[in-house]
Amino acid sequence: MAELSTIARPYAEAIFSLAHEAAKLADWSDMLALAAAVAADSNMQPLIGNTNINKSRLSGLFLDICGDKLTVEGKNTIKVLVENRRLNVLPEIAKQFEALKAEAEKTVDAEVISAFDVSQAQQKQIAEKLKQRLGREVTLTCRVDESLLGGVIIKAGDLVIDGSAIGQIHKLSVELAR
């Protein structure tokens, strides 16, 4: 949703700037992941959306759930989001923060979807090729999707490489239709 993305951007950028200056990107990543999970919880959603709930009570409840996993800065961030009725944007803030963090650290998470198990040697080769292509350190996760019949699909950020049998057949049918 474009609106949530637009609302989340200034918060994510401000948090990233604070975390980067303090060299605490990993800590903030953990805090935002926790807070986003709490905000996305089906039991919390009705409370977040209810404007009749006192902001200080909502803030207190949210912070109690997070426990001691948040720093003072993390707690203040939650209070600001509650005050501005933006807790519902936390998952998008966390997502944008992770994108900024990956950009700063020159890393990318890639997913390999294949019809069969991918061997360690194949994973290493795929990661090395992606590193060369993207100029970033690559963290691979692999999963099997038997519906592919053969080949692999690789997703890394915005890049999607469809080398599956079904993908190749689709490309061929598009070419033949021209």
pLDDT tens digits, residue range 65-115?
Answer: 999 999 999 999 999 999 999 999 999 999 999 999 998 999 999 999 999
Q: Which position has the token pair 């961030």?
A: 77
pTM over 0.85: no
Q: Return the CATH fold of 107-177.
A: Glutaredoxin (3.40.30)
pLDDT band at 169 (very low <50, low <70, confident <90, very high): confident
Which residue reads 């009705």 in tokens? Answer: 46
Q: Give residue 2's pLDDT.
A: 58
- Of 3, 23, 9, 14, the C-alpha closest to 77 is 14
CATH number of the domain at 2-103, please?
Answer: 1.10.520.20
User: What's residue 157's pLDDT?
Assistant: 80
Domain ranges (residues) in the chain: 2-103, 107-177
Specify the pLDDT at position 87. Answer: 94
Rounded CA-CA distance 105/108 in Å is 9
- Give pLDDT tens digits for 124-151: 999 999 999 999 999 999 999 988 888 8
pLDDT per position as a tens digit, 23-65:
999 999 999 999 999 999 999 999 998 989 999 999 999 999 9
* Mean pLDDT taken over the chain: 92
